[in-house]
Amino acid sequence: MATKVYDVVVVGSGAGGATAAYVLVNQGLEVMHLEAGRMLQPGKDFRTHLRPWDLPFRGQGKPGDYDGLWKINEYTDHLYTNPRKEKYDSIDKFHWTRLRAVGGRTNTWGRSCFRHGTMDFKTQSMQGFGEDWPIGYNDIAPYYDRVERLVGIAGNRDNYFNMPDGIYSGPPHPPRCGELFLKAHAAKAGVPVLHERTAALSANHDGRPKCHYCGECGRGCDVGARFSTLDGIIPKLRGKRNYTLRTNSAVHEVLTGENGRCTGVSFFDSVTGQPGEVRAKAVVLAASTVESVRIMLNSTSRIHPKGLGNGSGLLGHYVMDSMKAGGVSAILPVMRNRTPINEDGAGGSHMTIPRFNYKRKNNYYGGYFLLGGTGFGSGAGSGSGVSGWGPDLKKQIRANNGASISLRGYGERLPEYSNYFEIDPGNKDRFGIPQVRFQTAPSDNDRKMMEDMYNWIDEIFRACGAEVMPYTRMIEPMGDATHEAGAARMGTDPHKSVLNPYCQSHEVKNLFVTDGSCFVSMPGTHGITTLMMSLSWRASEYLAHKMKKGELA
């Protein structure tokens, strides 16, 4: 029997891959969707409502079990890939977060969805550093519209400089007491505080219920109130005649023919370990920035000796992530001894400090946002910053409950050739597929920006009259913010980029990469995922158009 040839094989079902599959299927193409992980049942698989006392290590997990990846704990360790079990060299340089399941990391993401603005796409010509994207904000704005309508975002139209308003399915979530306090006092230091724009619903949307304010989105939302591709896209595709989802299928290579074009992919069944192949007229890689590029680097052949579409030698280079500094905690004395109220809200902050350094003279390039935390959590807090024993210690912890506040900076990371990852031939995963190793380090620009972040945090806390806890100024390893992007960047010059402005390989015209790999810059604005989905949507429409015209053969 002749092997079936699909129109397109899409690899990965997270933000980039599910969006591509959605658009391609709706364009009438026959899609095989391969996902390395399993299907999740939100009501069963997410430990959203477990309490610390339900778990042997009170939710923290056994000390040392997760090698410092803060997202992995006893609520999520069955979802994320444990770096101790699937090892890669260089964890001290790069915190690589992997979640192999349908929906990928959209199951547990932070949900911030601010649009990138005109200046962010033109960093060289408008801000004097990095490289301009080959597209501008106006090219992507209509796709942001489509994605935001699909995702459902709670937000406010603030008309803020270089951070365009989007399409919101409901109002922003109401600020907590400490957030209102922060807004009022930060204003005295000239620092703006805006409503979060978050993919946690404040009104029912597209068959999904609004958030019931349990505050635990990081564990996965059991009712689908926060957007994930598991809840928001895959159900729209399943059952369609031109869509097939194959879970537990870990792709390791893109197959190519004599002319160097893609003919399909090969994979291992993650349960049985059996190898398999899918034939297709075009391949869309969206397995996440590092995994997609790893697949390309592992796909060597006579025509592509350095990896698929890697004639420029740039594959893996210019990898970026938000430059994430360590947090600073403080106590607001005026909030001490408050009567506890329910301030759980939607997981994470309801207000945020956007980039505000535009009109200042800075000794570094780019900008950053500050993410805050306040309010009564589900416990009384760790008691950090207080000392003593017995009743007196308890009294102090109770007094501080609901009075704590924290700020942490996330900054623009400049694209540097010297930040890269490569195949580590001596280290293979459980299927025998060569792993990657990272070569990344903070730059002088990162350090100067970090100092500015901390100086402003000090300034804001002074304006709040806060008692700041001792802290160390530091930069987290790259990857810790989980905004990795840029290792197969787009451009018009095949010597300076891997993909064209439609996420299509310069060298292999039936290969598209529609996750964060194509990013040219990593702005100091919170949210890369809706941009990634918008780019994927645009690329997929282009792919369908070209395929229908017979221009990918």
Q: Residue 235 is encoded by which pair of tokens?
A: 């159900």
Distances (CA, A) of 49 to 101, 228, 494, 497: 20, 18, 50, 45
Q: Should residue 529 be labelled a site residue for ligand FAD when binding is judged by CB under 6 A?
A: yes
- How far is residue 9 CA from its own chain's centroid? 23
Choices 153-161, 201-209, 280-288, 505-513 (CB under 6 A): range interacting with ligand FAD: 280-288
Q: Should residue 215 be labelled a site residue for ligand SF4 when binding is judged by CB under 6 A?
A: yes
Q: Should residue 534 be labelled a site residue for ligand FAD when binding is judged by CB under 6 A?
A: no
Q: How many CA atoms lie within 13 A of 382 on its CB side?
A: 5
Q: Should residue 109 be labelled a site residue for ligand FAD when binding is judged by CB under 6 A?
A: yes
Q: Should residue 106 be labelled a site residue for ligand FAD when binding is judged by CB under 6 A?
A: yes
**At closest approach, how far in Å is the CB of 250 from ligand FAD?**
5
**At closest approach, how far in Å is the CB of 76 from ligand SF4?**
12
How are beta strands 328-331 and 467-468 bridged, if at all? Answer: antiparallel
Choices 23-31, 186-194, 210-218, 387-395 (CB under 6 A): range interacting with ligand SF4: 210-218
Helix (H) or strand (E) run with residue 531 in it: helix 529-548
**At closest approach, how far in Å is the CB of 376 from ligand FAD?**
22
Candidates 441, 444, 455; CA nearest to 366 is 444
Rounded Cα–Cα distance for residues 280 and 303 (Å): 19
Q: Should residue 288 be labelled a site residue for ligand FAD when binding is judged by CB under 6 A?
A: yes
Which of 153, 221, 254, 481 touches ligand SF4 (CB under 6 A)? 221
What mask, x for binding ligand FAD by CB under 6 A, covers residues 112 to 151?
A: x---------------------------------------
Q: Should residue 103 be labelled a site residue for ligand SF4 when binding is judged by CB under 6 A?
A: no
How are beta strands 328-331 and 404-411 bridged, if at all? Answer: antiparallel
214 binds, among ligand FAD, ligand SF4, none (CB under 5 to 8 A by kind): ligand SF4
**At closest approach, how far in Å is the CB of 435 from ligand SF4?**
33
**At closest approach, how far in Å is the CB of 438 from ligand FAD?**
17
Place of tokens 């009712």: 223
Query: What is the full DSSP assignment across 269-281?
Result: ETTT--EEEEEEE
Q: Should residue 225 be labelled a site residue for ligand SF4 when binding is judged by CB under 6 A?
A: yes
**At closest approach, how far in Å is the CB of 173 from ligand FAD?**
14
225 binds, among ligand SF4, ligand FAD, none (CB under 5 to 8 A by kind): ligand SF4
State which of positions 287-346 bind ligand SF4 (CB under 6 A). 346
**At closest approach, how far in Å is the CB of 260 from ligand FAD?**
21
Query: What is the full DSSP assignment across 470-530?
Result: P----BPPBTTTS--B-TT-B-S-TTT-SB-TTSBBSS-TTEEE-SGGG-S-B-SSS-SHH
Choices 28-36, 274-282, 422-430, 490-498 (CB under 6 A): range interacting with ligand FAD: 28-36
Candidates 168, 172, 169, 151; CA nearest to 231 is 151
Rounded Cα–Cα distance for residues 501 and 485 (Å): 15
Q: Residue 463 is encoded by which pair of tokens?
A: 């304006």
Which of 55, 180, 189, 223 touches ligand SF4 (CB under 6 A)? 223
Query: What is the full DSSP assignment across 367-415?
Result: -EEEEEEES--SS----TT----HHHHHHHHHHHTTTEEEEEEEE-B--
Task: List contacts with ligand FAD (CB under 6 A).
Answer: 11-17, 34-37, 71, 97, 99-101, 104-106, 108-112, 218, 250-251, 286-289, 291, 295, 482-483, 515-516, 527-529, 532
